[in-house]
Amino acid sequence: MSQIAQRSLCESIEAMESAFRSAASGIDGLPVDDVVLLRMLQMVAPALEAAFGREVRKHAGIGKTEFRTLLLLLGSDGCAAPSELSDVDHLGRANMTRVADALVKRGLATRTADADDRRRISLCITAKGRKLVTRLVPGIASGETAVFEGIGMAQRRQVAGALRRLAANLDAWNRSQR
């Protein structure tokens, strides 16, 4: 049994907000609305990912990152270089090696050397991998429908726009740190 879920996520968010607002009343200059919003983001995103990960593990026996890599391969005509995949998924190359290892071990992808550039390999989804993705899509679709219930298209666009903006601001910040 998970050792997290004493309270629900909603209850934790309420309690977190209350605690931060209380803390802010004794601290000058803390932009508590921003702190709370960022913390909500950082609580909800991992919780969504964890739930997705548990479903994928249960139904496919692989991790969420492995599954996502299969989707990304499908979006690249079936094959891609690990360095490309790690860029697209914003992960480390070392991690992508681990993910590739796991997929190859289960026969869901293959590694083949690049004919033109011997530094590179091509990771390609197999027929078994395609079948697995096809099998899980209905469950994914219904899960996502459930999770987005009550959030209209206009609000989703607002969220997407805000996330892009946050990413751009973070990129600018990271550039300024070097």
The interface partner of residue 112, options being a copy of itself, DNA, none and the CB cut-off 5 to 8 Å by kind, is none
Q: Is 6 near DNA (CB under 7 A)?
A: yes
Q: Is 63 near DNA (CB under 7 A)?
A: yes
Q: Is 135 near a copy of itself (CB under 8 A)?
A: no
Q: Is 97 near a copy of itself (CB under 8 A)?
A: no
Site for a copy of itself in 109-128 (CB under 8 A): none
Query: Exactly one of 36, 60, 73, 82 binds DNA (CB under 7 A); which one?
Result: 82
Give the Cα separation of 96 and 6 in Å (integer): 34
* 106 to 145: interface string for DNA, x by CB under 7 A: -----x--x-xxxxxx------------------------
Residue 85 makes CB contacts below 8 A (sequence gap 6+) with 69, 72, 73, 91, 96, 123
Give the Cα separation of 84 and 82 in Å (integer): 5
Up-side HSE of residue 157: CA atoms within 13 Å toward CB?
3
> In terms of Cα–Cα distance, which of 100, 75, 102, 103 is closest to 86?
100
